[in-house]
Chains A and B, each alone.
Chain A
Amino acid sequence: MRYNFLHILIILIANNAFAQFVDSAKARQMFATSVSDSTTLISHLYLSKIFIDINNDSSISHARQAYQLALKLKSKSYQAQSLDLMGAVLLRRGNLDQSLDYLLQSNSILSSLNDIHFLKINNRNIAGVYKSLNDYDRARGYYLSGLNIPLSGDSTARSWLLMDIGDLYLQMGKLDSALYYTKKSIDIISLLSDRVGNKYLPVALLTLGKILEKKGNVYEAQQKYRQAVEVGLKFHNLQAAAENYIAIAHLFKKSGKTDSSFIYAKKAFDIAIKVNNPKSIAVASSFLKDYYRSKNNFDSAFLYQEIGSAAKDSLLSLEKIRQIQNLSFKERLQQQAIQDAKNELRNRVKVYSLVAGLVILIGAALFLYRNNRQKQKANALLKFQKERTERAYEQLKATQVQLIQSEKMASLGELTAGIAHEIQNPLNFINNFSDFNTELIEELEQEADKGNLVELKSIANDIKENERKINHHGKRADAIVKGMLQHSRANTGKKEPTDINALADEYLRLSYHGLRAKDRDFNADFTTNFDAQVGKIDVVPQDIGRVLLNVYNNAFFAVFEKMKRSDKTFKPLVSVTTKRVADKVEITIKDNGIGIPQKVVDKIFQPFFTTKPTGQGTGLGLSLSYDIVKTHSGEITVESTEGDGTTFIITIPTT
């Protein structure tokens, strides 16, 4: 929609008040170039501003049109200005609800544009809404934030803000603060040559007067009111002039100068009628009615009462509308507050949730970190323990090797006595036969001298026989020593074809004599039943020897134990039987000793298991025997009846 000059002019003429205010030169300049939307928009804004204190309806209409154009032109800045104007007009109308809505919309746009000049004005308007709602704290907050916006050349806006703050403090009853701000505002205004600035001077002066009046300074108050009226009339703020007249009338009435009061009330009334301000009309009418009544001029009194009631009615209806609007607005504000509280709660919940989440996350992180640390620690510990275990295992292995060696040495010790006896006997024979041969050779020489050939031959035969005996027993001793050395050797020997029967017999004797040597009381009979079919098989002789020695020793120990517990009729007996069964050789060692308890029989091949008192057995004998037989791919089994005896069967494959 385009405005042409004529159109504008019609509007201007239609409003008679405009003629008094409009700066015709400026308007003309404006309208002359008013061909574009933007120019029309500016015109509407200007007109709206001019009409704001003259005609609300016109003012808001222009503001609305400006807003529509600003939307069309997509000008954020003009949208904000239009909205602010609409809010300002509605504030004056008392439509606080709608006013605040527009003002806040404008505020958000202005904030985004960072338009500090209009923000200052906007803040003042918003503060005005809250002041009207008697929400002094919020009002003061907006006034002060408006005041705090740094802006050079903003004296007018600054003066308005200071003035409004003064009025706010007056309403709050804080007279000193009110006086301070009002005086400050007047100081600024008095420096302004600006017409718009001076237009509000009577308002500031009215406030100042009221402050002084409340402070009891009636004379000065009256002076301020009079000055206000003068300025108001000069700069066309008639409403302010009317209100100041009423203030003067009020002063006179209080001091009992009813005539003077009447004169000023009448002046106020005339202006109020002119500006059609029902509030002022009502107040002024009230003065006039009271005056005429006191003068018994009832007609006039009645007339002013009628006018006053009409004004009051309109004021009341206006007031009522305003009240209802404000009520709904307050309700809305309350709901807004509730919503805000809810939002805040939601936000707080969000924040708390976030914080809680964060705390949980941090907790989880810490937990994980701790877990990780612990895991690392555990790993380190595990590694350490593993190393220690490995070390311990190595030590154990070394110890085991040592133990095996010491077991060998221990069994060697057991053997020693037997060996001593076994060696002693052949040595005795060697010595005896050798000695005897010496004698026989002497005899031989004697017989030779005699020439007794028969005797000579007989003696020579004896010598030869003895020589064979010496040789035999020498070899016997040699074999025993070699066996002993083999037995004590740490490394296992090599497999070689071994006469199992001879081995079984040799170690049986070693065992027997060993035990005899150890314990004089020990004795037992033994029998052997060797199968000639057994022959030679590939074994490590000293290893199998050790197995046999262990089993023999145990057998002799068992029969000896039983002998100690039995009467003289008990014949301790250990019998050794060899047998060839297919491709295996079976060596059976049977004794009639004490037997092995059932609960122990399963454990006898376990390492370090021993029934002997501490120090007497290593507990490794049968365990080692078991291992040795296993390395020969053989088997060692045991059958035992407690009290009756034990049978060990060693089976070794021939191949």
Chain B
Amino acid sequence: MKILVVDDEQDMQTLFQQRFRKEIKEGLANFAFANSGEAALQYLQQHHHEAVLILSDINMPGMSGLELLQHIKQKYATPPPVVMMITAYGDSENYNTAMQLGADDFLTKPIDFQLLKEKLKIKVNG
């Protein structure tokens, strides 16, 4: 299972790699990272055959997370990849927009990794 993390913060990569250290070691999780929405789309285009779970930040320069979400849900209709939005702004407006665009889940920063891991388990297994 490939998990694509989209965030303009470089350290997000480090954080995920450390948090999922065991999972990565055990081969349970495989992470890819993109610094922007554009980079994420590019990655998806190159690895379109892979089953991908996307974790995306919303507030990014250039293409925002919501735009990325919109693109993905339109472009990759079958099977639609699981897209989970992670944002610092846990407001209802962002949440509603994300859900409207077909986001599979909505998490707020700081990321509760225990919660994330449980959700990922459900998504992967389900």
A binding-site residues for B, Cβ under 8 Å? 420-421, 424-425, 427-429, 431-433, 435-436, 462, 465-466, 469, 472-473, 512-513, 516-517, 520, 523-526
Contacts and interface: CB of A to CB of B under 8 A. Distances in A.
A424 B18 contact: no
Given A429-B9, A520-B94, 10 more contacts: A421-B89, A425-B9, A425-B88, A427-B110, A428-B88, A428-B111, A466-B18, A469-B15, A523-B64, A523-B67
Given A429-B15, A520-B94, A424 B109 contact: yes
Closest 10 CB pairs of A and B: A525-B62, A428-B110, A424-B88, A431-B110, A428-B109, A523-B64, A432-B15, A516-B59, A429-B11, A432-B110
B49 to A, nearest CB: 27
B90 to A, nearest CB: 10
Contacts of B14: 465, 469
Contacts of B11: 429, 469, 472-473
A436 B94 CA distance: 28
A465 B14 CA distance: 10
A171 B88 CA distance: 140
B32 interface: no
B63 interface: yes
Interface string B39-72: 0000000000000000000010111100100000
B118 interface: no
B59 A524 contact: no
A425 B58 CA distance: 13
Contacts of A424: 88, 109
B88 to A, nearest CB: 4
B61 A524 contact: yes
Given A424-B88, A425-B88, A469-B14, A432 B111 contact: yes
B93 interface: yes
Nearest to A433: B15
B36 to A, nearest CB: 8
Contacts of B119: none
B19 interface: yes
A435 B112 CA distance: 10
Given A428-B88, A436-B19, A520-B93, A513 B111 contact: no
A433 B63 CA distance: 27
A524 B63 CA distance: 7
Contacts of A462: 18, 21
Nearest to B88: A424
Nearest to A427: B110
Nearest to B14: A469
A431 B113 CA distance: 12
A515 to B, nearest CB: 11
A520 B113 CA distance: 26
A516 B62 CA distance: 11
A523 B67 CA distance: 10
Contacts of A420: 88
A523 B62 contact: yes
B61 A512 contact: yes
A523 B94 CA distance: 14
A359 B110 CA distance: 98
A517 B67 CA distance: 16
A357 B48 CA distance: 113
Interface in B1-53: 9, 11, 14-15, 18-19, 21
Most buried by A among B59, B64, B67: B59
Contacts of B93: 520
Contacts of A517: 59, 89
Interface in B85-126: 88-89, 93-94, 97, 109-111, 113
A596 B113 CA distance: 48
Contacts of A466: 18
Nearest to A572: B62
A469 B12 CA distance: 11
Nearest to B17: A462
Contacts of B18: 433, 436, 462, 466
A446 to B, nearest CB: 13
5 contacts: A429-B11, A516-B59, A523-B63, A523-B64, A525-B61
A520 B85 CA distance: 15
A579 B90 CA distance: 40
A30 B82 CA distance: 171
Nearest to B59: A516
A351 B83 CA distance: 116
Given A421-B88, A425-B9, A513 B59 contact: yes
B18 to A, nearest CB: 6
A433 B88 CA distance: 17
Contacts of B9: 425, 429
Contacts of A526: 61-62
B94 to A, nearest CB: 7
A596 to B, nearest CB: 24
A431 B108 CA distance: 13
Most buried by B among A429, A465, A466, A517: A429
A508 to B, nearest CB: 9
Contacts of A429: 9, 11, 15
B74 to A, nearest CB: 12
A473 B67 CA distance: 28
A554 B18 CA distance: 40
A432 B12 CA distance: 10
Contacts of B67: 523
Contacts of A520: 93-94, 97
A455 to B, nearest CB: 11
A455 B48 CA distance: 37
A524 B21 CA distance: 35
Contacts of A433: 15, 18
A436 B64 CA distance: 28
Contacts of A512: 61
Contacts of A431: 110
Given A421-B88, A429-B15, A436-B19, A524 B110 contact: no
A283 B59 CA distance: 155
A473 B109 CA distance: 15
Nearest to B22: A443
Nearest to B21: A462
A525 B64 CA distance: 10
A463 to B, nearest CB: 10
A432 B109 CA distance: 10
Contacts of B94: 520
Contacts of B59: 421, 513, 516-517
Contacts of B89: 421, 517
Contacts of B61: 512, 523-526
A425 B15 CA distance: 12
A431 B21 CA distance: 18
A526 B36 CA distance: 12
A513 B11 CA distance: 18
A473 B15 CA distance: 13
A433 B109 CA distance: 13
Contacts of A435: 113
Nearest to B15: A432
A27 to B, nearest CB: 154
